Amino acid sequence: MDLNTLDPTTRANVQAWLDGTYDAETKQVIRDMIDHNPNELVESFYRNLEFGTGGLRGIMGVGTNRMNRYTVAMATQGLANYVRMSNPHEESLRAAISHDSRNHSREFAEITAQVLAANGFEVFLFDGMRPTPELSFAVRHLRCHTGVMLTASHNPKEYNGYKAYWSDGCQLTAPHDTGVIDEVLKIKDLSDVHLDGGKERIHTIGDEVDTAFLSHVEANAIHPELIRRHHDLKIVYTPLHGTGITLIPRMLKQLGFTNVNVVEEQAVPDGNFPTTPSPNPEEHAAMQMAVDLAKRIDADIVFASDPDADRVGVAVKRPDGQWMLINGNQTLSTIIYYLVNQWKQASRLTGHPYIVSTIVTSELPGDIARRAGVSCYNVLTGFKWIGRKILEMEGQGTFIGGGEESYGYMIGDFVRDKDAVSACCMIAEIAAWAAEQGKTFFDVLVDIYKEYGFYREGLLSVVRKGREGAAEISHMMDTYRSTPPTSINGSPVVRIDDLSTLTSRNLTTGACTHIDLPESNVLQYFTADGSKITVRPSGTEPKIKFYFSVKEPLHDAADFDRVEQALLAKIEAIKQSMQLG
C-alpha cells in the first residue's frame, strides 16, 4: 500500500518507526503489514497506546498502539521522570518489578528494569513470575518509591499490561495518576528513553521476599488449631496457568492443609492458557476443570486464581451434592462475616475497626460489619480506592478486610491490592471452621442469608460503540440526572446519590448531604424495598453499566432456590421497569 493514503497521524507513526532506532525484525514486520495487511497496520499505528490511570493494557504486537518492548520502555521513562520530579531530594530512588505468566511478560519486566536502572533507580526484579499482591507488598517491604507489575490480569491471551504502583503499595491515585500520564505523554520517541547503563543497579529478588510475604499471610489465620484438626479438608485449586502456582499451594501447606489437589493440566504456567477459553475465574468455563476434579474426589471446596493471582473464583458443594459457583459478592460477604464475628468473639474489635467495600458491591458486607460494631467505608470502583482509604485511615483505625464484587478481596493491610493468596487461605480456613460445626461453606452462606436477608446482585452492560455511541451514553446519563425515576419496579425511590456533584438526596425528607468521595460520573438509586441500582459509564470500554442489588428474607435453608429465583426475577423486572430489557 501507499503510505500517503494513510491519515497523517498513522503515517507519521509508521514512518517514525521505520526511520527510528527500532530493531530490524520490528521494521520487517511493519513492511510486511504495509504489503500484506494494511488494516492491521492502521490498527497498530493509528494512535499511541493510552497510559491510563491503571497503566497500560493492550494487544501485544508491533506498533504505537500495541504492547511491545518499545511502548513499555517509553511508558517507563515517563514513570521514571515523574517519580524523580516527585522526590527531588532523594538521592537513591528504588523500584520493584514483577510479572505474570503471559507471553512476553518477562521481556517487558526486564526492559522496565533496564530503563529504570538507566535512570538511576535501584531496581528489585523478581527472579521469575510472582503474584500481583506480592509486588504490592514488595514495594513497601523494600521501601520503594514505585513498582510495576507486568500483567493483563484476566484478559484474553492476546493482551498484556503494565500496572504502576506508588510508594504506598497501591496503584496510582490522584495526583500521581494524572501526573504520570502527563509525563508519559511527553515521551514522543524512543530517543527520549534512557536505555543504557546502570545494569549493576538491577538486583534479583526471590525467596527472601516470598518468605516475608507469606509470614504476613500466615498471620492472618484466626484459628490455626481448626486447620490442624481439619488438615485433610479436600481442597481443589487451579492457578489457570498463572502465577498462583508459585505461592498458593505452598502457603496452604505452610498453614497445615495436607490434602490440596491442584488441577495438574492447569498448573503449568502458559501465556496461551490452552485449557480454557478465558483465564477469568468469574466465568464458568474457567472453573470447569476444577469442578470436574472436585466431583471425582468428592472435594470440600474449590477455588481458582486468575493469571496474576489477584482474583479468586470459588465453587461450593450444596446439600444435594451439586456444585455451585458463588459470585464475588457472596465470597466477600462470607469472608467479612467470618472475620468480624471471629474478631468480636476474640475481643479484638478495638481501635475503630473498619472494612472497605466499593459503591457497586453488595450492601451485605456493610450490614454484617455494622451489626458487629465495625465501620464500613464505601469507595469508588477499583481496588486502588480501597488502598487509598487504608492509607487515609492509618493511625485512625484498624483495617480488618475488604473487597469488591469483581472477585477481589483483601485481608489485613500488608498488601494494598487484590490478594488471591490471602483470600484462598482464608476461604480454606472458613471451610475448616464450617467443618468443625458439621457444616460446609455453602451452609455458612445460607446462615448469613437467614440472619441478614438474601442479597442477590446482577450486572447489565449496554454497549454503544463509536462517536454516536459515546454521545448516546452521555445523553442517557444526562436523562437519568434531569428526570430521575420516582419509582423502580413499583417501589418508591427514597434516595439518589450523584457522585458527579457528590450529593446524596433523601427524597422523603428533601435533605441533601455531602458524599465524601472523589467526583465520578456515577448515579445510584435506592428504593423503599431495599433495592440499589447503580449506573456508571465504563472508563475503558464503549459501554454503560447497570448494577442491581436486591434482597428478600430467607427463613429456611430449604427455600434457598425459590428465593434466589424470585430475586433474579426481581432484577429482570427492574430492568424492564427501567426499559433496559
**CA 198 to CA 160: how far, in whole Å?**
26
Q: Which residues pair with 233 in a beta bridge?
A: none
Cα distances from 42 to residues 8, 34, 211, 222, 506, in angstroms, run: 11, 9, 47, 55, 51
Q: Tell me whether residue 58 is in a domain.
A: no
217 domain residue, yes or no: no
Tell me the C-alpha distance between 132 and 244, whole Å: 10
Handedness of CA 249, 136, 120, 161 (dihedral sign): positive
Taking alpha carbons only, the member of 371, 543, 570 closest to residue 465 is: 543
CB burial class (10 A; 0-12, 13-18, 19+) of residue 384? buried
Q: Is residue 212 part of a domain?
A: no
- Judge if 311 and 345 occupy the same domain: no
Cα–Cα dist 310/247, whole Å:
12
- Per the DSSP assignment, residues forming a β-bridge with 160 are 58
Of all residues in the chain, what percent are helix, strand and coil, respectively (each to 5)?
40, 20, 35
Amino acid at 44: S
Q: Are residues 444 and 458 in the same domain?
A: no
In angstroms, the CA 203 to CA 84 distance is 20
Same domain, 352 and 445: yes
Report the pLDDT value the prediction gives residue 540, as an integer from 0 to 100: 62
Same structural domain for residues 394 and 491?
Answer: no
Q: Is 153 a catalytic residue?
A: yes
Asked if 243 and 231 sit in the same domain, the reply is yes
Residue tagged 467526583 (cell numbers): 519
Which grid coordinates are listed for 175? 495526583
Neighbouring C-beta atoms of residue 242, cutoff 10 Å: 31
In a domain, 317, yes or no: yes
| Helix axes of 176-186 and 69-86: crossing angle, nearest 10 degrees | 130
Residues 1 and 80 in one domain: no
Q: Write out the three cell numbers for 580.
A: 433496559
- Does 482 reside within a domain? yes
CATH number at residue 555: 3.30.310
Cell of 55: 497503566
Say which of 44, 98, 105, 153 is annotated catalytic. 153
Query: What's 48's DSSP letter?
Result: P
As for how many domains the chain has, the answer is: 5
Q: What is the DSSP string of 126-164?
A: ESS---HHHHHHHHHHTT-SEEEEE--TTS-TTEEEEEE
Mark which of 180, 207, 234 sits at the end of a domain. Answer: 207
275, 290, 325 - which closes a domain: 325
Among 405, 437, 452, the domain-final residue is: 452
- Give which of 195, 183, 90 is closest to 144, Cα–Cα: 90
- Asked if 150 and 111 touch (Cβ cutoff 8 Å), the reply is no
Q: Are residues 531 and 488 in contact, defined by beta-carbon separation less than 8 angstroms?
A: yes
pLDDT value of position 52: 87
**Type of residue found at 205:** I
Helix (H) or strand (E) holding 358: strand 353-358
Q: Are 264 and 393 within one domain?
A: no
Listed residue (546, 533, 551, 549) closest to 580, CA to CA: 546
* Residue 216, in any domain of the structure: no
Q: What is the DSSP string of 413-451?
A: SS-SS--HHHHHHHHHHHHHHHHHTT--HHHHHHHHHHH
The pTM assigned to this predicted structure is 0.95
CATH number of the domain residue 296 falls in: 3.40.120.10
Phi then psi for residue 343, to 5 deg, are -65, -40
Nearest Cα to 138, choosing from 129, 128, 151, 125? 125
Instruction: For residue 548, give its domain range.
Output: 454-577
Q: Please state, in angstroms and rounded to a whole number, the distance separating the CA atoms of residues 493 and 483.
A: 13
Nearest to 402 by CA among 170, 103, 142: 170
Domain co-membership, 422 together with 517: no
Do residues 470 and 496 both lie within one domain?
A: yes
Whether 101 maps to a domain, the answer reads yes
Written as nine digits, the cell of 359 is 459503591
Average confidence (pLDDT) per 10 residues, the chain, 581 residues: 86 94 95 94 94 91 97 98 96 96 98 98 98 98 98 94 97 94 94 95 98 98 97 98 98 98 98 95 96 98 98 97 97 98 95 96 97 96 94 95 96 97 98 98 98 96 82 91 94 97 95 95 96 87 90 96 97 95 67
- Mark whether 181 and 274 lie in a shared domain: no
- Together in a domain, 270 and 314: yes
In a domain, residue 497? The reply is yes
**Are 396 and 425 in a shared domain?**
yes
